[in-house]
Amino acid sequence: MENVKIVCPECSSVNSIKIVEGVSIACSQCEEYLDDPFPVEVTDASCKVHILENDIPILIDFYSTVCGPCMAMYDDYEDAALEFPLKVRFLKINADEHQKIAREYGVRALPTIIAFKKGEEVHRISRQLSRVELNLWAQSLI
Ligand SMILES: [Zn+2]
């Protein structure tokens, strides 16, 4: 079986692991479990590492705390993420606090959710999505 690169959700270290169903592997640097599926709050600094270094697909939610639809999607995004440990990494970035990445990817409306595979954007949607829509989208990336 091939090794897969997984960026640690806690410390952003790049780990190269063999994925075995039902086995949790801890980060070699900080010991956080790499299969923790909870959405990772990223910054201008950590965002690129996740997008470029993860071998698994990425979804990233550009949000603002003053955007109604963004906040309305909060729980659905989290629920959807919990179903994809080590399959799809769910990220979120506060686009008010981290404007560099939002500018770089041309994000003009919030929420915008962008899917990446191996560092390449594959699709984006700029509206609130339901848990089912998020689930189907994540499923389609695998
Ligand atoms: Zn770590």
pLDDT for the residue 110: 96
Residue 92 burial (C-beta neighbours within 10 Å; 0-12, 13-18, 19+): buried
Q: Which residues are known catalytic residues? A: 67, 70
Q: How confident is the model at residue 104 (pLDDT cuts 50, 70, 90)?
A: very high
pTM listed for this prediction? 0.96
pLDDT for the residue 78: 97
Give 110 Cα–ligand 1 centroid separation in angstroms: 29
Ion ligand 1 neighbours (CB, 5 A) are: 8, 10-11, 13, 27, 29-30, 32
* H or E segment and range at residue 44: helix 44-53
Q: How do residues 31-81 score in pLDDT, each as one tens digit?
A: 999 999 999 999 998 999 999 999 999 999 999 999 999 999 999 999 999
Residue 64 burial (C-beta neighbours within 10 Å; 0-12, 13-18, 19+): middle
Give 34 Cα–ligand 1 centroid separation in angstroms: 8
Give 70 Cα–ligand 1 centroid separation in angstroms: 28
Give 135 Cα–ligand 1 centroid separation in angstroms: 26
